[in-house]
Structure 1
Amino acid sequence: MKYVDHGVQGGVWSGQLGAKTAPARICAVLRGQVVAQGDLTPEGKGQWRVQIQLPAALISDGVHSLALIADDGAAGDPPSPAAMHLARLSLIAGSPLADDLQAEIATLRDELELLKREFRHFAATV
């Protein structure tokens, strides 16, 4: 199976799935729990459009990482141990995170400046 992620638009996570046969179920999983079922629409031989309506309850302060899986489970079943991982989606929300991200970017900038300085020093001595 090959999955091409098209991202999230209007609360719908979508993509294109290429496989010989369609899986019995496509779903989004958060912390081991199925939080949304996906719809598969045929789009030619071995191609399906995947759409998952993300529940509004998922959008809350913090970082949440969803996994898109394909398995042969039924609606309401927990994810199968043999489920195939197709994609990952990170949702980040809330004002406390803005400060964390700005601090992380500042740290990355400092590290980049250090690497540039060391590279220039190395290049000058060679």
Structure 2
Amino acid sequence: MNEFESLGLKGGIWQGVLHRDAPPGRLVLVHMGSRLAEACATPEPEGGWAVDVAIPAERLSDGVQSFLLLEDRGAEGEPPHPGARHLASLTLVAGALLDGDLHAELSLMRSELELLKKELRRLAAEPG
């Protein structure tokens, strides 16, 4: 089981549970190498820590966007420290570009499958 369990994105807030007894260090939301926000961690009555962080609307756009949740011991407002611990990632896919991306990916998969079928047929036909 992962230490961080993502509960998904609701109303622009990424929610999850950090399964550990000790309080976490600073939790930082990162997108494209930039620090966006710091997550809030509150103790859960049954153990662990409830974590939530707002995804800034201005960072949402067509295509694929990946957000990272990192833990370090830095001060508030600082960029993540080198060696910050990666806890989780959230990938969002949206917009008109999505159709083209999916069609291109499907076409690539079909080509690779055809290549694999040819190679298997060749291997099966070899005497030996």
TM-score, structure 2 as length reference: 0.78
In structure 1, the partner of 2:68 is: 67
5+ residue gaps, structure 1:
none
Amino acid paired to 1:95: A
Report the alpha carbon displacement of residue 48 of structure 1 after superposing the two structures with TM.
Answer: 0.8
Give 1:94's aligned amino acid.
Answer: G
| Cα-Cα RMSD | 2.3
1:78 matched to 2:86: no
Mapped contact 1:62–1:97 kept (Cα < 8 A): yes
Corresponding letter in the other structure for 2:65: H
- Secondary structure at the aligned position of 2:49 is classed as strand
The match for 1:30 is 31
Question: 1:105: how far off?
Answer: 1.0
Q: Deviations over 1:15-51 (max 9, x none)?
A: 1112241123212111332112211121233x11111
Percentage of identical aligned residues: 44
CA distance in 2, matches of 1:54, 1:33: 13
Q: TM-score normalised to the size of structure 1?
A: 0.79
Give the distance between the partners of 2:118 and 2:5, measured in 1 at CA.
39
Q: How does 1:91-110 map to 2 (within 5 A)?
A: 91-110=92-111
Unmatched segments (≥5 aa) in structure 2: none
Q: Distance in 1 between matches of 2:109 and 2:87?
A: 30
Contact 1:24 1:74 in 2 (8 A): no
SS at 1:80's partner residue?
A: coil
Q: How many residue pairs align between the two structures?
A: 125
- Separation in structure 1 between the aligned mates of residue 88 and residue 79 of structure 2, nearest angstrom: 18
